[in-house]
Amino acid sequence: MRPQKIDDIKLLEGLMTTFRTKGYNGASLNDLANSSGLQKASLYHRFPGGKKDIGLAVLNFIEVWKEQNIVAVINNKDLKPDERLSTILKNISSIYENGECSCVMKAMSMGDGLELFGDELKFGAGIWLKTLTQLGLDFGFEQKIAEGKAMQTLVKIQGSLIVSKNLNNTQPFTMALNEIELLYTNI
């Protein structure tokens, strides 16, 4: 067997970039092959189910990233809640390149994506909310207040990414991250 020419992380990052910029429906197999560095035949070899399998692989990649960079940090009781919050905000800023990138979850929920990936997208949002609620509880907020702060956090992140992209200005994203910090620390 020949060794793989492209490592899985680089492959999935390239595919994710294409979905972020073109959406699920707008991304052609040629676009995905070009961004992956693979020929279409090699792409089909790795993803026999075609574009849907590629979409599922990208969503799984995001879930693994979230588990390592959000969930594990929030669940790390060796860090104080404000340290965990600061770390996840830095990680969020990093994955979205300081607000330059669109959210792949948004891109995958447009057009046919929501029908194809609705369960995965709902699960992903649920993990965000559950984990951020735990952070709120660790800050000492009551359950309902922690849940509300979790929802506000998710809305601020997603909404600010859309506004930043529309204005071609990352300031709304930066402002949202600052507001999220205050949401938890301004008691």
The pLDDT value recorded for residue 125 is: 95
pLDDT score of 4: 53
Give 37's pLDDT tier (boundaries 50, 70, 90). Answer: confident
For residue range 96-112, list pLDDT tens digits in order. Answer: 999 999 888 888 998 88
pLDDT at 111: 85
The band of 1, judged by pLDDT with boundaries at 50, 70 and 90, is very low
Sorted by sequence, the CB contacts under 8 Å of residue 110 that are 6+ apart come out as 23, 24, 25
pLDDT higher than threshold 80 for residue 166: yes
pLDDT > 50? residue 84: yes
pLDDT score for 110: 87
* Mean pLDDT, rounded, for 16-35: 93
The secondary structure element, H or E, covering residue 45 is helix 40-46
pLDDT score at 38: 87
Is the pLDDT higher at 105 or at 168? 168
Domain ranges of the chain: 59-185
